[in-house]
Amino acid sequence: MPGTPSNLRLQFDPALPVSHHREDIVRALETHRVIIVAGATGSGKSTQLPKICLTAGRGPGSSQGGIIGHTQPRRIAARALAARIAHELGSR
């Protein structure tokens, strides 16, 4: 997909429902400044959406630059999620 930084290995878990909608989400990101993705707990929103944003050319090292942020209701959850995404990306 366009804009993916070449030093990252992006893999998507086919068991997560969000992964099946990657192309739709990328198209929405290309045409809309803000999108809202709703799904059940455990559908992969928190872990897969940052990677989908990277494939859409968003984030550091991409053609559009910027950052990809996430929020969680508790700091420990935010840190755990950030560590998991970094691990999945093969990044520090």
Q: How far apart are CA 37 and CA 13, in angstroms?
A: 17
Positive or negative CA dihedral for 17, 21, 26, 29?
negative
What is the mean pLDDT of the segment spanning 32-45?
91
pLDDT tens readout for residues 53-68: 988 888 877 777 778 8
Q: How far apart are CA 47 and CA 13, in angstroms?
A: 10
**Mean pLDDT estimate for the chain:** 86
